[in-house]
Every structure is written in C-alpha cells, then in structure tokens.
Chains A and B, each alone.
Chain A
Amino acid sequence: MIETERHEYDVVVIGAGGAGLRAAIAARERGLRTAIVCKSLFGKAHTVMAEGGCAAAMGNVNENDSWQVHFRDTMRGGKFLNSWRMAELHAKEAPDRVWELETWGALFDRTPDGRISQRHFGGHTYPRLAHVGDRTGLEIIRTMQQRIVALQQADHAETGEYESRLRVFAECTVTELLTDDDGAMAGAFGYWRESGRFIEFSAPAVVLATGGIGKSFQVTSNSWEYTGDGHALALRAGANLIDMEFVQFHPTGMVWPPSVKGILVTEGVRGDGGVLKNSDGERFMFGYVPDVFKGQYAQTEDEADRWYTDQENNRRTPDLLPRDEVARAINTEVKEGRGSPHGGVYLDIASRMKPEEIKRRLPSMYHQFKELADVDITAEPMEVGPTCHYVMGGIDVDPDTGQSRVPGLFATGECAGGMHGSNRLGGNSLSDLLVFGRRAGLGAADYVAAAGRRPTARTGAVDTAAATTLAPFGPPERGTGENPYTLHAELQRRMNDLVGIIRTEAEMAEALEHLGELRRRVRDVVVEGHRQYNPGWHLALDLRNMLMVGEAVASSALTRTESRGGHTRSDHPGLDPEWRHRALLTTCVRDGGQEHGDVPRIAVERTERAPMRDDLLALFDLTELEKYYTAAELAAHPGARPQGGST
C-alpha cells in the first residue's frame, strides 16, 4: 500500500482552462464543494494562448447577426457533421456567457457606442468575435480566475476559510479515473508534480476539461499540456470518443526559425486585412474556393478589398474561408513549388495597413515575430504554414448536460466532441468553453443532487493506479530501457508525417503499425531520478495517453473513406453524403489480452447520427443541403414539399 493523500468533494473538475473554470464556477454557485485540478499553475492553462476572440452573435457591429446565422455558419464550417443540438445551444447562449464575463470584470475592446466590439473571422458571416486585441484567451482566463478568487473571498467572509468550498489543486496531474462496482464515477487518482506524492479524490461527479491532443504532433500550436489526457482517461473509464479523425490544422503557424515552428499566427491577421500570397506574389486563395462555398466569396481582389469596409455589397475575401480549406490550399502551393524560403507562404499585412495600426490591433503578433524571428511585421510579410491546432473529436457527451456514457462523468471544452463537426470555426472554441463549461457544471450539480449517495471506488483500483504510475521507475528487467523523450519525438514525427493534413489508407496502416511498435517500447520506458518535479517521469506517463489518442485518430481516419473538414484522404478526395450521417466511435477494449500495465487497446465502430430537428433544418435552403445530404434525409425539409413554406 503506497501512501496517498485523500480528499472528498462533490464535484472534481479536471482542467483549469476556460471550460474547467466555467464548470467549477457553475458547480460552486450551486453550493457544491468543488475541486479544480490542473497540471499547470492556476491561470496558465492553454486557454491563455487564445488570441483572436470569442464568437457570440451579439449583433453589436452588425445588427443583422442572430443565433440563427451563427448556427448556420457553425454547421457549414463543420460540413453538417456537428451535433446540431450543441451548435444550437452554443449559438443561442454565447452572447449571455460573454456579457456575464463583463459583470465579473472582463474588459473587451469597445465599439464607438461603448458596447463590446466584434471582429471578422473565417467562416463567420458577420463580425462576431468579442476580443481584446490579440490576447482574448488571457482576458477570459484571468476574468474567471478572478471570479473564482471572488467566490473564495465570499466563502472566506462566511466560513473563515478561502478554500472551504472551492479549491484549486495546481500542478497536480490526474492519471486515472475511479469507478465504483456499477461503473459509475467515484473519483480520480493522480500525483502532485512538485513532490510526486499521490492524491486521491473521492467524488460522485467528475468533469473532464483537459483540452486537446496536439502534443502528439511534431508541428503544433499547442503546449505540453495537450497530451490527450482527458480523452484517454474517459476511454479507460468506459466512455466513448466521437469524430476522432477530425483534427484541425490551422493554416497559419510560424515556420521559421525551427524552434518556434508551429506557434500560432492568429487568424485575426486575416480578419483585420492581412492576405496570403505565394512566392509569385499572387493572392492564391481566389483559386481555392470549393464548390460548396461557390458564390459566397469574392471572386476578385477588388471586391475582396472593398468587403473590409462595405460588407453589405461585397462578398468576403477567400483568405477567410474555413481553416481546413485554407490549410489545404497552402499545402498545395508549397507542394507545387510556390512556397516561401522556409516552406510556407507569405502572410502580408505590412503593405495593407499603417505600422501604428498593426501594432495597436495585433500587439502580440508584432511582439512574437520581432522577438522570436527578427521579423518586423509592419515592414515585411510573415512566413506561415499549417500547424496542428485543435481536435474536433472528443468525448461523446449529452449536448444539454455534458454527461458521457459513464454515470457521473462529464466532459466539456476541447476534450468533448460533437460541437464543431468536421471543422471548427475560429472563435467558436472560447464560446464553446463558456456555454458548455457552464452546462457541464450544472449537469454535474444536478447529478450529485439526484444521486444522493457517495460511490466507493472499486477495491484495489487506487493501488493499481499507483503501481502503473510508478512503473517507469522499475522497468522490466530484460527491457530495452527506453527514453521517454526519444519515444515522444518518434510518436510526434509519425503522427505528423502519416496522420497529418493529407492522408491515405497506406499511411494510416503504416501509422498504426508504428504506434503498435511504440506501445511495446513504452512498456520498457525508464526514468532517472526521483519523484520530485521530474519532467522525464511526467512525460513517460503522458505517453500512455498520447498513444491511445494517436490510435484513435489513425484508426478513425483509416475507417472514414471520404474527405471532409479536418480529414482529407487523397485516395477518397470527395465529400460522400453517405458518410455525413455516420459517426465513428472509439471505445476502449477491455479484454484485449494485454498484460497488466500495458496501454489499453482501442476499437473504432460506426454509428448513426441523430437527424437534425425539422425547424433547424428549415433554416437552410434546400439547394445548400443537397450538397451534403442524401435525398432520403431531406424528405422532411419544407422546400422538398410542393406546398412548402418559406425559410
């Protein structure tokens, strides 16, 4: 029996990004004792990196905006694969969630009449993103961090203790979820990064808000935290993942110098007027408007430029097509030899805006290029290329409450799936965190109120979790003694090369073979030193999660024989309506014949998506839907009936 510190809570939120903090606030406001657990310091979660803004149809800049337009944009961006219920809730509730932040002290940029200003972003019909320069994520994290402090101050006034109802366990990593004999949630197990000591949370409800998976890829905008922990924890606890083949490659990451390759260049650069050019100086995006978006984008540079000032009479620039389209276009330009010296394309704002204006609107981009690449973006173009950015796939949850298939296990934010379909629109993540973070917190609170009992973790579960965690200190005697850093680098390279933007059946199969090999080697991983703040050990444990998630992505990508959004198969280049209504679920294989301590295997199965509610379907023109849907699915559309009403 290894010594483990124990805590009892009503709700344990794993993750302190936008989604986790919003969930914790909701649960605490319902009066529940809530713990927040996170790998980094409080206030440093990955959400701080979000730049461009938070999408919400407030209509402050263009009053024609409405939840219906936002809903339509979101579904189009996701190529109609989204959970329509989530897209609906998101579009309807996002404005309230943004306004609420103001009551907690957020200071967004303003319109001339004093309301929250909104900026253009790819795929959004109207200027819709609430923002603070290009540091919107920081504002959102800080506001919620300060809201949590305010709640703690209130608790202090009432009970004499800041942490009597809401406590943050920072630099604490959860390695396993605990379930009771009936498979319901019972808590979580993890370790303090600082000391390596173990910690067990006993709680009837757990909310996963662990973010994404980008650290499985070599070129990524994501930080070290993004090892897919929540995805893997949920799988091992019995929940399903959905849509794991859909990974977003952001079109504009830095490409040079090598050490910063992948760091994000916000879409706000294009939203504010920056344009993409190839080595011939050509604005190539005009040649890449796909059929499904024909007629919605400007066809000439003149029209595109006029659009920035007059959106009523002009169509938007194709530089602002959804991200999947732009990323593929850049990929093609580079492949066909029209790239920049370091293998990207040019993003030019210098020739289109005054230096002071650039510095005011895009201060962090100015700073980032100046400091890290010696490039002055007010004087020369940036070099950019695609970078792994976001995972659309995630834990399969009930749209209204965020509950997974496992009773008491909730998920929200980037680690939850469904909301964004096959491709997320920029700005729709920050709003997703707020809308569904709150809903998951409330869902957990309702669940705890209804459950009325404290489940007990299965006997031996904690000891098993502890033993797995310690395994890298005592690897098998005849093992090969693998270095976690080497294994990680290899995993990243394989995922990048074989499961990247453009995929083929042969590459997926090869990827799965390499992942299988890595799975064997990870058994022999060995770490030096002791348990106190030991990054080698932390990485060794994270590898288990990255492997499970990598397999989920590669297997799902192998199964889906079409191209859509964040999944492009060069051997199946078209959009296939028969695949639109199908979803791929990833499950954990319990009796895969693996030995104790091995990384569990996963399996991918097909399922059908719930058909969209009629009133929502009627928000679209039949001609548009026909590009995505089978004829049979559209029988109920008002336009399909001879007497059909208007939309």
Chain B
Amino acid sequence: MTYTARLRVWRGDTGGGALTDYEVEVNEGEVVLDILHRLQATQTPDLAVRWNCKAGKCGSCSAEINGRPRLLCMTRMSVFEPGETLTVTPMRTFPVIRDLVADVSFNYAKAREIPSFTPPPDLGPGEYRMKQADVGRSQEFRKCIECYLCQNTCHVVRDHEENKPAFAGPRYLMRVAELEMHPLDIADRVADVQDEHGLGLCNITKCCTDVCPEGIKITDNALIPMKERVADQRYDPLVWLGRTITRRRDRPARG
C-alpha cells in the first residue's frame, strides 16, 4: 500500500521561515518520522529534525502535526487520510533553531530550580526499604521521557512569554510531586511550589495530560494533589509553622 503524501513542512530559522510543500512516498506501517527521513534522503538533505530512538523512548522528536503536539516517531501515517495534507511545524512554545528543531533549554533551566532528592541522612546504600505500593505513584511520574510536549501545550506559557520566568510547567511541577511522594525523601518543597514554581498559575485544564505520550495523569495524579497539599499547608498555621522550623534546621545553607 504505497502512496504519495502531501506534506507542508515549516522551513526556516531564528530569522523566520515559511511552510514548504513536498510530495513524498509513503509505505505501509510508516510513521511521520520515516517520511521526514525519506525527504532528507531524497529531496532536501539539510532538513533539520531532532530524533534519536525512533521508538517513543527518548522524547527527542516532539513537533506539531496539523497543530497537535506529537512525537514524530510514534505517529503512524495510517491515522491520516491518504489525501490529507499534513502540516508539520516545530513546537510553538519554544524558540525555533531551525526547521523542526526547537530550543528547549527553558526546560533544563527549570529542572535546576527544583531542589533535588534529599535522602534520610541515616540510611546507607543498600538499606533502603520501600513497598511497591508506596513507590508506584512516583514511578508513574518517572515514566516521563522529557519530550516537553506538555510544556509546549500548557496555555500558561504557550503564547505567554511573560509567564515563563515564574512557571516551571507541568513536567517540573510533576517532578516536585514525584519527590514529595517519594517515600524516603525528607525535603519539603510544598512551600515553594505555589509561588516559586508557579503551581498557582495552573488552572487544571488537563491539556498537558491529553498530549502526554506516556499517558501519565499529570493533572489528576500530580498537580491536583500538590494543590491540595499547598492548601493544607497554607491554611493550617500549625503545619506551616512546624514545617518552617524543620526546614530551617535541615537546610541552613539554603534557608
């Protein structure tokens, strides 16, 4: 079942660009990334597209197909009509580098702002004991392949450059939740998540969950529970006071 597909691919760089039309052969079972590779091999060798595993495991090949954020390597051509023109564009929320490749450094910067795993001081390597039931939730979040599709989709920063400094995005708010739900982590990140990492800006629209290729329930399982913890802590003065004191004692350097 071979046919010729019509593709409109965004070509350009930081200076600007435009959609360019191509016609490419498609064979049975192929994914959009295969088609872009065929374009590279036969028509336009310098077409820039980022990819690595071609198996939905590394999260490199994120882009938008007909405006929908997707992994290029996990989107089969068979989900489109053969007559349909596919429009492939880079992720919109991040600055473009060239063609389909976006500058995702925003995400690496946000990753550094989340305080890291903090183990109990008295447990040595090999002494960790955790029940499967207790690690399951954080394990769900650790399935994240860092494709940044959720970051790209969230309306708080999509087309809202001004919110970027104050918003970690669903992926990193979920990282906070992951550490908070880790059975052995002793740090407290709840106090900062609302303002410093911008949980307050999230209005639980679930758009992030909708695009997650790993099917992680970002909103229901990470963001909403974090909002609940924030609410608990904020409005219970005793909890608030208690936590503030422990934090000071635990981490004098960071205050």
Contact = CB atoms under 8 A, between A and B. Distances in A.
A43 B58 CA distance: 8
Given A364-B57, A527-B46, A259 B27 contact: yes
A224 B55 CA distance: 12
Contacts of B145: 48, 138
A110 B135 contact: yes
Interface residues of B, number: 62
Given A110-B132, A224-B51, A138 B57 contact: yes
A110 B131 contact: yes
Given A110-B135, A139-B142, A527 B45 contact: yes
A485 B40 CA distance: 8
Interface in B65-83: 74, 76
**Max count, chain B CB within 10 A of own CB: residue among A44, A156, A368:** A44
B40 A114 contact: no
Given A102-B128, A135-B57, A534 B46 contact: yes
A259 B30 contact: yes
B53 A109 contact: no
A258 B28 CA distance: 8
A153 B254 CA distance: 11
Interface string B28-70: 1111001000001110011111111111111110000000000
Contacts of B40: 485, 535-536
B98 A223 contact: no
Contact of A533 (B99, B132, B135, B253): B99
Contact of B55 (A49, A139, A142, A529): A49
Contacts of B112: 149, 152-153, 156, 162
A102 B127 CA distance: 9
A42 B98 CA distance: 19
A616 to B, nearest CB: 25
A107 interface: yes
Interface in A95-131: 95-96, 99-100, 102-105, 107, 109-110, 112-115, 117
A42 B108 contact: yes
A332 interface: no
Contacts of A533: 48, 97-99, 101
A41 interface: yes
Contacts of A484: 45
Contacts of A225: 52
Contacts, number: 176
Nearest to B148: A41
Interface string A130-162: 001101001100100011011011001100001
Interface stretch (B113-121, B162-170, B242-250): B113-121
Contact of A259 (B13, B31, B138, B182): B31
With a 10 A CB-CB cut-off, give which of B135, B142, B253 has the most chain A CB atoms: B142
27 contacts: A49-B55, A96-B126, A100-B125, A103-B124, A105-B119, A114-B131, A133-B139, A135-B143, A149-B116, A156-B112, A157-B254, A194-B98, A194-B101, A223-B53, A224-B51, A260-B29, A364-B56, A372-B31, A483-B41, A485-B40, A489-B41, A527-B45, A527-B46, A529-B46, A532-B97, A534-B45, A534-B48
A595 B47 CA distance: 32
Interface of B is mostly: loop
A261 to B, nearest CB: 9
Interface residues of A, number: 72
Given A114-B129, A535-B47, 6 more contacts: A41-B104, A44-B53, A105-B182, A259-B30, A368-B55, A536-B46
A113 B125 CA distance: 16
Interface string B88-108: 000000000111010010001
B102 to A, nearest CB: 11
A180 to B, nearest CB: 34
A49 B53 contact: yes
Contacts of B182: 105, 107
A256 interface: yes
A258 B1 CA distance: 12
Contacts of B51: 224
B130 interface: yes
B210 interface: no
Contact of B48 (A132, A150, A535): A535
Contacts of A371: 56, 74, 76
Given A139-B142, A371-B76, A372-B74, A535 B116 contact: no
Nearest to B14: A532
B30 A142 contact: no
